[in-house]
Amino acid sequence: MRRGIQQFQKGLATCGYLTSGRGSTRAVGVSLVVSFHTTTTTTNTTNKTSSLSGGGAGNFGVQAPGSSKYSPPINHKCIVGAVSFSAAAAAVSSSSAVYAKEPVKPEFLPKDVVLYQYEACPFCNKIKAFLDYYDVPYKVVEVNPISKKEIKWSEYKKVPILVVDGQQMVDSSEIIDTFSNKILHPEKSISKEDDTEENQWRRWVDNHLVHVLSPNIYRSGSEALESFDYISSHGNFGFMERKVAKYAGAAAMYFVSKKLKKEHNIIDERAALYEAANTWVEALKGRDFLGGATPNLGDLAVYGVLRPIRYLTSGKDMVEHTQIGEWYTRMEKAVGESSRKKAEA
Ligand SMILES: N[C@@H](CCC(=O)N[C@@H](CS)C(=O)NCC(=O)O)C(=O)O
């Protein structure tokens, strides 16, 4: 039983936006030991010790692409909130525009696409936004975060994993690179190294935006519970696992998020979220989408990682306190219904 609980708790801390890395938790309720990367935090109801040894889960100091201070997002750290941006609101173009999917040419469509995922994982949602927008039918295998038995066949132990006509693809940005070269422009391969505006913002998503999410969705006890309610009700958990996940996971991640905040010099997590949202709106420069009249991979990446939080308290706050709402609504319309259903029908 105890081993089961330990395994279970380890599973709780697996999602990148739960922990931003590999983690383990021990001893439900009374004490929680959470370790990830090189860092260990021990929390007890009466006693709390932590050793913060760096090796962070992310990179909060990345300047937004286009900003004069922008440099490639590698091992840069600075205080979130340092990026200033003009308050000039991006003029949103007429609401009469019709936003729709961009279906892939049938001859380029793969026959069989299977996504191994956690429903609430931001990286997995990035892939789903891409597949949905390009109307690529796909099946989903929800992975149990504790046993991971659904991906036992793979050496890669994270999600998303996308299997396209039998070929395994891993890492959300790599998957999108490979897959978009295959289905969108098979005649000309585009490298993710190309320093386009689209790629810069895709990197900003991976190196900055995803790391702002955890401190926000676990900001308070009630928000952590709300998040784990969502995660445990959408994930592939056994009956008991689901029950324990909600409370043990919420408690563990509440403490982890405080540590992440410290590690990344975040003073106010909501301010960091609002700033990221406004930075993104500024990047649009008045266009409907980063891609102009239609979304590009930058739009899909931002939309994908924000999708799991949009209707949580943090996502609602973000829309209420920033200008991102109109773009988000356009994205919802453009991406439309999930193409996942088609494969399952
Ligand atoms: N860079 C990867 C990150 C993937 C990732 O961290 N996935 C988390 C779920 S959100 C995971 O599977 N973690 C499992 C683990 O660390 O053991 C990507 O973009 O796909």
In a domain, 147, yes or no: yes
Among residues 8, 17, 118, 134, the one annotated as catalytic is: 118
In a domain, 70, yes or no: no
Q: In what order do the strands lie in the sheet with 167-170?
A: 139-142, 113-117, 161-164, 167-170
Q: Is 169 exposed, middle or buried (0-12, 13-18, 19+ CB in 10 A)?
A: buried
Residue 197 CB less than 6 A away from ligand 1: no
Domain count, the chain: 1
In a domain, 10, yes or no: no
277, amino acid identity: A
Residue 315 CB less than 6 A away from ligand 1: no
Angle at 186 between CA 184 and CA 190, to 5 degrees: 80
Question: End-to-end CA distance of the chain, in Å?
Answer: 39
Rg (CA), the chain: 20
Our answer to whether residue 118 is catalytic in this structure is: yes
DSSP state of 322: S
Residue 14 CB less than 6 A away from ligand 1: yes
Paired tokens of 198:
């689209």
CA dist., res. 173 & res. 186, Å (int): 18
Q: Which domain does 276 fall in, by range?
A: 106-187+196-335
| Half-sphere exposure of residue 265: CA atoms within 13 angstroms, side-chain side | 13
**Tens of pLDDT, residue by residue, the chain (345 residues):** 344 444 444 444 445 444 333 333 332 232 333 332 222 333 332 232 222 222 233 333 455 786 644 433 322 222 222 222 233 333 334 456 788 899 999 999 999 999 999 998 999 999 999 999 999 999 999 999 989 999 999 999 999 999 999 999 999 999 999 999 988 888 777 776 688 999 999 999 999 999 999 999 999 999 999 999 999 888 999 888 888 888 998 999 999 999 988 888 889 999 999 999 999 999 999 999 999 999 999 999 999 999 999 999 999 999 999 999 999 999 999 999 999 966 555
Residue 116 CB less than 6 A away from ligand 1: no
Query: Ligand 1 pocket test: which of 7, 15, 307 has the largest number of ligand atoms within 8 Å of its C-beta?
Result: 15
Q: H or E element: which one contains 113?
A: strand 113-117
Going by alpha carbons, the residue nearest to atom 9 of ligand 1 is: 15
Which atom of ligand 1 is nearest the CA belonging to 122? 10
Number of Cβ atoms within 10 Å of the Cβ of 150: 16
Determine the distance separating the centroid of ligand 1 and the alpha carbon of 222, expressed in angstroms. 25
Tell me the CATH number at 158: 1.20.1050.10
Contacts of 18 (CB under 8 A, 6+ apart): 12, 214, 231, 249, 253, 256
In a domain, 43, yes or no: no
In a domain, 161, yes or no: yes
Determine the distance separating the centroid of ligand 1 and the alpha carbon of 85, expressed in angstroms. 31
In a domain, 3, yes or no: no
In a domain, 273, yes or no: yes
In a domain, 261, yes or no: yes
Angle at 276 between CA 272 and CA 278, to 5 degrees: 115
Number of Cβ atoms within 10 Å of the Cβ of 56: 20
Contact 311, 80 (CB under 8 A): no
Q: H or E element: which one contains 126?
A: helix 122-133
Query: Ligand 1 pocket test: which of 158, 230, 253 has the largest number of ligand atoms within 8 Å of its C-beta?
Result: 158
Q: Would you call 195 helix, strand, or coil by DSSP?
A: coil
